[in-house]
Every structure is written in structure tokens, then in C-alpha cells.
Amino acid sequence: MIDETHTICAGPGGATKAWELDPDFVTIGKPLASGVPAACYGMSAEVAERTDAFMRSLPTTDVGGIGGTLSGNALSLAAMRATLEHVLTDEAFERMIALGERWADGVKTSIERHALPWEVQRIGCRAEYWFTPTPPRNGGQAAAADDHELARFTHLYALNRGILLTPFHNMALMSPATTETDVDAHSIVFDEMAAELVG
């Protein structure tokens, strides 16, 4: 089973396609609708048959936990259609992934230049830097590597210079609207911040 909500950034088809996975069950949430609340399930024929058999065993008035009040609402469906037709396209991903590489390269160059004990990770068009020299391998290691005071500083430093990182992590997610100029502006600000930290 794979939840593509945070791995759709790997490219068209998400990590499932990029890494040639063959899950029995796939889910994806709001990225499918560009942030509008939405979700979809995909499943193998065997799982679909078992799910259908279970659903048929329930009283006709019970949704059995699949779906709910907002299932198939017009706004979510319109947002999903627009996202699939105009945002999560092969062409857009090709551009966005190249920008993600450029962003990560800019961060890595500064980390190396200033000998910071940090590292940068990227999956497709999503990249972030960590305050640790090696990537965490589990949630406990990730929590131990987090430095809340340093994170607040890096976010505020960037924000005061016109760069808004996601409000959690030190992450950037390239969009079809992101430009090389945007990415390079972050690289400049990140390098200035790194220089001040070690200076």
C-alpha cells in the first residue's frame, strides 16, 4: 500500500510509477485537487472484489467508511479535473523536477561552501534541507535531528528577504508557476544565511 499524497512530487504517476512499484492499494489526497480537500483510492482487482463484497454485505443506508458527506462534490471534482489537465502534466513535471534539482544543487553548494553539518534531499520537484549530515532513516531520527530554534531562524531569515518556505520543514515544492529566478533567489538568500551562521 502506498499513500502518494507526499510522493506525487516524484513525477507523473508519483513514486508508484517512478520506482516501478506494484501496490495493491494506492491513495492520494489534496495534491490531486491542488489543495482543495479531495482524495482518491486505487486498488488491484483482488482488493476491489473484496471491498465490493464487503460493501454489498452492509445495509444499503451505510457507506461503510468509504466516502462520506463530501464524496464527489462538484468543487473537488472540478479542482481535480483542472489539476490533472493543467497542473500534474508530463510537461509541467519535466520543468518542475528540473527546478527541484536546481534548488537542491543551490542548497548543497552553500552547505559545502560553508562546511555546515547539514544535507539536502530531493524527490522529484520537492526538496528540503535537514540540520544533520546524514539523512534520517526513521521518524525518531528525524525528530532527533530537528532544531526548532534553527528552523525558526531559517524561516524568518528567508521570509524577511521575500522567500516563503513551507511552514513545516525546510521544504520547497516547485509548481508550474515557479521560475528559475525564484529558485536562484532562494539560493542567494540561503547562501547569505549560511555565511552569517558560520561567520
CATH label of the domain that carries residue 98: 3.90.1150.10
Same domain, 112 and 24: no
Closest CA to 2 of 37, 20, 21: 21
Same domain, 14 and 27: yes
Same domain, 138 and 187: yes
Same domain, 150 and 113: yes
**How does DSSP classify residue 37?**
S
**Could you tell me whether strands 25-28 and 40-43 are parallel, antiparallel, or unpaired per DSSP bridges?**
antiparallel
User: What domain range includes position 128?
Assistant: 90-198
7-27 pLDDT, tens digit per residue, is: 999 999 999 999 999 999 999
φ, ψ of residue 172 to 5 degrees: the values are -125, 135
68-122 pLDDT, tens digit per residue, is: 666 678 898 999 999 999 989 999 999 999 999 999 999 999 999 999 999 999 9
Last residue of a domain, one of 86, 101, 133: 86
The structural domain count of the chain equals 2
Same domain, 62 and 139: no
**How does DSSP classify residue 5?**
G
Same domain, 99 and 176: yes
Query: What ranges in 19-138 are assigned the alpha helix state H?
Result: 45-57, 74-86, 90-113
Same domain, 137 and 98: yes
Last residue of a domain, one of 28, 54, 86: 86
